[in-house]
Amino acid sequence: MAQSISIFDNIKDQFALKDKDPNQYSPLSLAFIGDSVFDLVVKTVVVELANCPARILHKKTTEVVKAESQAKIVDEIYSSLSEEEQNIYRRGRNAKPYTKAKNVNFATYCKATGLEALIGYLYLKGRTERLVSIVKEGIVLLDCEWMKKT
């Protein structure tokens, strides 16, 4: 059986990207990639659980990836994060964003940015098992109706 390679390792190989320590990325760069990775994990779960119209898939995904939900997730899981993970989260939360999400207060937006930075960091470190575990824990904490129908 062929050995599995992570999507990140595949991207690095295909584009001949050099290894870089994720600690050297700015917290907003970590959040930038983390936003997409978080979204991809949630969308993967949603699509696998429900083959339905795209508007319904989008609604289910948005329930988890919106800033309020991400802030709630981090509030609940923060104490279970390792010291390293808490430090990365705080770096992301305390970064000075140049934009603000619509319809959400600044503190909530900063918490969501911190979680996205942590997800981005774990992705770039190749720690996808931990990353997926955190996203799963978040989905369970949010008690999404679409998860109960499986």
Q: Active-site residues: which are they?
A: 35
Question: Whose structure tokens read 């808490």?
Answer: 86
Q: What angle do CA 136, 137, 139 make, to 5 degrees?
A: 65
* Separation of alpha carbons 76 and 59, rounded Å: 23
Buried b (16+ CB within 10 A) or exposed e, 84-101: ebeebbebbbebeeeeee
Task: Output the six-digit token pair for 90.
Answer: 């705080």
